[in-house]
Structure 1
Amino acid sequence: MRKSILTLTAIAFAMGISAQKVEFEEYNLKNGMHVILHQDSSAPVVTVGVMYHVGAKDEVDGKTGMAHFYEHLLFTGTKNIGRGEWNKIEAANGGTGNANTNWDRTYYYETFPSNNLELALWMESERLMHPIIDQKAVDTQNEVVKEEKRQRMDNAPYGKIIYGDVYNHIFDNHKYGRPMIGYIKDLDAAKLEEFKAFYDKWYMPNNAVLVVAGDFEKATAKKMIDDYFGPISQRTLPNRVTIIEPERTLEKKVKEYDSNIQLPAIILAHKTPSMKERESLVLDVISTILSNGKSSRLYKKLVDDKKKAFQVFSFARELEDYSVYNIGAIPLDETSLDDLTTEMDEEIEKLQTELISDKDLQKVRNKFENRFVASNSNVQGIANSLARNYMLVGDTNRINTELDIVNSITKEEIRDVAKKYLAKNRRVVIEYLPKKK
């Protein structure tokens, strides 16, 4: 009998109930690998994800780009999976897989019909035990990375904003100031031994978390996990150097150019607290108030009412050591960037001096609950959330407590955090301008 599939979103809206608690079990293997199990039999699928605690911030000067490079390289094949066969095996067994990288971590995941759990675990253990790292693989993936950079960044309108290439203006010391994808010249100059050394330095069981989420039996899954990952030896983790970024005390103004745009943009960029901190969530709430949706303050004012902006945006990129919060707008017609800055500053000042209404506060809480339900509406999303909260927040159960934290945020906190972190003397004003090709 075919099982019916109901997402958490559908359940929540159909029944009018709050977001469901995510049940999980976690433990460590003897080699230090952390394991998280989440059972969900609502659909006959299972996701296996492995997150490694290595990202762009861990790269050495002159050898950037390797964290993201491995996101591609580790799909080449292994000692027991032929070169180019990885995706074919997934497809032949009804599965899909992918990977992604940021400044803090690299995440690989696969989703299969639940009767292929063992296959998924074997493939991920192969990635850790027997990867193909040779010159042919490096040369092939180097071209793939270059093409990705051309499509997603070099030739994408506003790509430097979206993918963080403007962060060098925000961070003076921290490695978050480097592009997440690194510099192509560094990859071109890197020797095969250096690629292997990066893998040996960071890819080990005691620097990873394994998540299994979906339709499976715990006892069976634990046995498979122990069989495939237990024999992998732990190694000594490298020492991480904590880089302290000084607080900005004077407003900084810079210009960036993009040959892919016709309309300029103005960005008010801020360094904000780590994703572990409560204030980071408060800033996420502020971002929602300012520009999330057509009922947000900046959209209603600049796009609908005054028709000074073609588009407005603000977003918080939450990271392990520090976070980034950007507020921006694209002008309409003859509106100047200075005019947009003045208008945005007025809305920021209101948040810094006035308490938001009960209605606005409840609207924000509703949006966060909807976002939680949407992001955890399938086992793939839950697996990602569990791994991220364990590795970067240091609290796996944050997946269940984040909404409680948001719902406990007061109007006074919103005002005080806006006053503290959105102060003019702490920000970088970026004029993002068209550049002739």
Structure 2
Amino acid sequence: MRSPTLMLLLGSLTLCLSAWAAPPDHWSVPVQRKTLSNGLTVLISEDHSSPTFGLSLVYKVGMRLEPEGRTGFAHLFEHLMFQGTPKSPKGVFNQVITAGGGQNNGSTRADFTNYIETAPITSLEAILWLEADRMRALDFNAQNLKNQQDVVKEEIRINVKNKPYGAVMWLDIAGLAFDRWANQHDGYGSFADLEHATLDDVRAFHRDFYGPNNAVLAIAGDLSAAQGFALAEKYFGSVPRRPRPAASRFDEPLNSGERRLTQTDALAQVPALTLGWKMPARGSKDQAAMTVLAELLAGGEASRLHQALVKRHGLALKLDSGIGITGPWEYDGPTLLTVFALYKPSSNADALLAVVDEEIATIVKSGADPATLARLKTSLLASWYDGLDGFMNRADMLAKLQTLWGDARVVNQIPGWIAAVSSADLQRVAARYLGSANRVLIDRQPASAAASAAPAATPSGETAKEH
């Protein structure tokens, strides 16, 4: 992640897509698709409202697919993609894009790595050349590797090690919730694993995962589909297809018993409780209902948990929530609905849990009234459409949906799935997914408070875990 501000079987999927009808009134995102002979999938969203474009190149590789013993490798490799190629030395990529009035970035997630750009339409061919160039080959050398190993380690220091609560919402909680190494390991990376990455490792990673047949190119903006497909063929058509490693299994059932972890934090001033529940699989009929339920439960100051924990009972100081590290539609393996609460030192985790359980029980019993349900859907739909307005974000969402779902046209079905969620759906999924058996929790205590409360306790940083 270059900037910290930035992070089914086909038949079953078809059944899921047909199970939800689209609403009668909604904006239909234009999208046309073509697959080149080398396997590169190309998507074009034609829109002449601005003489600009957004581009996203998504590779189907992320933290789940990195080798054991190489935690953080997918993230490290994302950084190496900006270190130059035999034809365009280090620095050229950024210089060309910014000189043309554009911006670019990239990020690594569990199931994909994406590279995004936006610029005036006159810069499109130059950027396509640059992306195709680094798909072909990178400048693999010891200096670049060492430099980026150090950069990633510094990111970890800033965003995890030297930050109160670190990445408890997505690293620690995943390590507790999941059983398969691919799902539970620290995808940001351990220093030891990062330092042991070799030039042969990065060459093999590029060979295995950065071929055109493992990628989706999406362009949104001031061009026609015919123009976009022709340009994709011109710049990417000669990049050879490459063999891909066999797919791994990532599936896991819901948990059958609560899991708890107690930690101390030398940088924290107040305790924090992090809760996680395994989400339904991508493409499940429960996915949309869980998305609406997450908004009802913890989506902002109007949510049930904020009102109960912060306003009514005065136990929590702040609440945050999320679905994975990407959102409710951008995952292709097990992920979590996570709630994070800073709470008052005068309280404790069990007191907060009692309130959480009470709110969940109320939803299971009564669902949501019509006015509340309408408000939730309006908020989610407004956020969805707002995220598709900008060309770069639209191209990125289309490329991710194509990569994860196998069909970018899902973009026009998601609003219908949200609109179709009923109060009874919320009751059903709350009962199925938010029970204590499927719950994991981490109680993060300030180290100073833990030491004064129990002077004979184990050293700071040691943890206790229950399954």
Q: So what's the TM-score if we normalise by structure 1? A: 0.92
Moved more, 30-39 or 262-271: 262-271
Could you tell me which residue of structure 2 aligns to residue 268 of structure 1? 275
Task: Give 1:332's match in structure 2, choosing from 317, 325, 344.
Answer: 344
Could you give the per-residue CA deviations for residues 275-310 of structure 1, whole angstroms, max 9, x where no partner exists? Answer: 322312221211111122222111122212222210
Aligned partner of residue 295 in structure 2, secondary structure:
helix
Q: Which residue of 1 aligns with 2:296?
A: 289
Preserved CA contact (<8 Å) 1:49 1:108: yes
CA positional deviation for 1:313: 2.8
1:127 maps onto 2:139 in alignment: no
Mean CA deviation greater in 121-130 or 312-321: 312-321
Match of 1:346 among 358, 365, 384: 358
Q: Which residue of 1 aligns with 2:147?
A: 140
Q: Is the 8 A contact 2:165 2:267 kept in 1?
A: yes
Residue 342 of structure 1 aligns with an amino acid whose one-letter code is: A
Instruction: Report how far residue 19 of structure 1 moved.
Output: 5.0
Q: Which residue identity is paired with 1:155?
A: N
Shift, 1:359, TM fit: 0.8
Q: Report the Cα offset of residue 428 of structure 1.
A: 1.3
How far 1:183 sits from its partner (Å)? 1.8
- RMSD in angstroms over aligned alpha carbons? 1.7
1:397 aligns with 2:404: no
**Mean alpha-carbon deviation: is it higher for 122-131 or for 22-31?**
122-131
**Residue 302 (1) aligns with residue 302 (2):** no
Structure-2 separation of matches of 1:299 and 1:109: 35
Q: Secondary structure of 2:115's partner?
A: strand
What letter matches 1:156 in structure 2? Answer: K
Shift of 1:18: 6.3
**Unmatched 5+ stretches in structure 2:** 1-23, 449-459, 461-467
Give the structure 2 partner of residue 323 of structure 1.
335
- Who is 1:278 aligned against? 285
Q: 2:199 maps to which residue?
A: 192
Tell me the distance in 2 between the aligned counterparts of 1:159 and 1:43. Answer: 40
Give, as a single letter, the amino acid of the residue that structure 2 aligns with 1:362.
Answer: A
Aligned: 1:412 with 2:424: yes
Moved more, 65-74 or 303-312: 303-312
User: Which residue of structure 2 aligns with residue 177 of structure 1?
Assistant: 184
Report what 1:313 is aligned to: 320
Kept after mapping to 1: 8 A contact 2:173/2:440: no
Which shows bigger deviation, 289-298 or 404-413?
289-298
1:355 equivalent in structure 2: 367
Equivalence for 1:242: 249
8 A contact 1:266–1:341 mirrored in 2: no
Partner in structure 2 of residue 42 of structure 1: 49
Moved more, 115-124 or 62-71: 62-71
1:371 corresponding residue in structure 2: 383
- Using the TM superposition, give the Cα deviation of residue 25 of structure 1 relative to its aligned residue in structure 2, in angstroms: 0.4
User: For 1:290 and 1:124, how far apart are their aligned partners in 2?
Assistant: 42
Q: In the TM superposition, what is the alpha-carbon distance from 1:92 to its structure 2 partner?
A: 1.1
DSSP-derived class of the 1:293 partner: coil
- The CA deviation at 1:407 is 0.7
Name the SS for the 1:81 alignment partner: coil
2:211 pairs with 1:204: yes
Q: Which residue of structure 2 lines up, in the alignment, with residue 381 of structure 1?
A: 393
Offset, 1:355: 2.4
Of 431, 436, 444 in structure 2, the residue corresponding to residue 424 of structure 1 is: 436
Amino acid of the residue matched to residue 363 of structure 1?
R
For 1:355 and 1:220, the matched residues in 2 are separated by: 49
Offset, 1:153: 1.5
Q: For residues 426 and 189 of structure 1, do their structure 2 counterparts lie closer, same or farther at Cα, with a shift above 3 Å needed?
A: same
Partner residue in 2 for 1:433? 445
Cα distance between partner residues in 1 of 2:296 and 2:234: 49
Q: Any conservation in 1 of the 2:54–2:393 contact (CA below 8 Å)? A: no
1:70 aligned to 2:77? yes
Q: Which amino acid aligns with 1:31?
A: N
* Deviation sequence 1:306-345 (CA, Å, 0-9, x none): 2221012332224211121123322135122211111111
Give the whole-Å Cα distance in 2 for the aligned partners of 1:381 and 1:135. 34
State the distance in 1 between where 2:189 and 2:252 align: 20
CA distance in 2 between counterparts of 1:387 and 1:429 reads: 33
Shift in CA distance, 374/156, structure 1 to aligned 2, threshold 3 Å: farther
Which residue matches 1:9? Answer: none
1:93 maps to which residue?
100
Tell me how far apart the structure 2 counterparts of residues 71 and 334 of structure 1 sit (CA, whole Å).
44
Question: Which residue type is aligned with residue 404 of structure 2?
Answer: L
Equivalent residues of 2:183, 2:250 under 8 A apart: no
| Alignment-mate amino acid for residue 389 of structure 1 | L
Q: Which has the higher contact order (CA 8 A, sep 6+)?
A: 2
Report the equivalent of 2:463.
none
Give the TM-score normalised by the residue count of structure 2: 0.87
Report SS of the residue matched to 1:193. Answer: helix
1:363 and 1:34 map into 2 onto residues whose CA distance is 37
Moved more, 28-37 or 334-343: 334-343
Q: How does 1:6-21 map to 2 (within 5 A)?
A: 19-21=26-28
Tell me the alpha carbon deviations over residues 405-424 of structure 1, each in whole angstroms, 9 at most, x when there is no partner: 01101111110111001111
Please name the residue that 1:14 is paired with.
Answer: none
Identity among equivalent positions (%) equals 29
Unaligned runs of 5+ in 1: 1-16
Write the letter of the residue equivalent to 1:245.
Answer: E
Structure 1 residue 174: deviation in Å? 4.5
Q: What are the superposed Cα offsets for residues 365-409 of structure 1, whole Å, 9 maximum, x if unpaired?
A: 111111112211211111111011111122311111111001101
1:56 and 1:341 mapped to 2: Cα distance?
A: 31
| Aligned-partner Cα distance in 1 for 2:283–2:385 | 21
Q: Equivalent of 1:227, from 234, 238, 247?
A: 234
Change (3 A) 1:20 1:369: same
8 Å Cα contact 2:54/2:119 also seen in 1: yes
Deviations 1:165-208 (A, max 9, x none): 33110001241201221222111012211111111111100000
Q: Which amino acid aligns with 2:409?
A: N
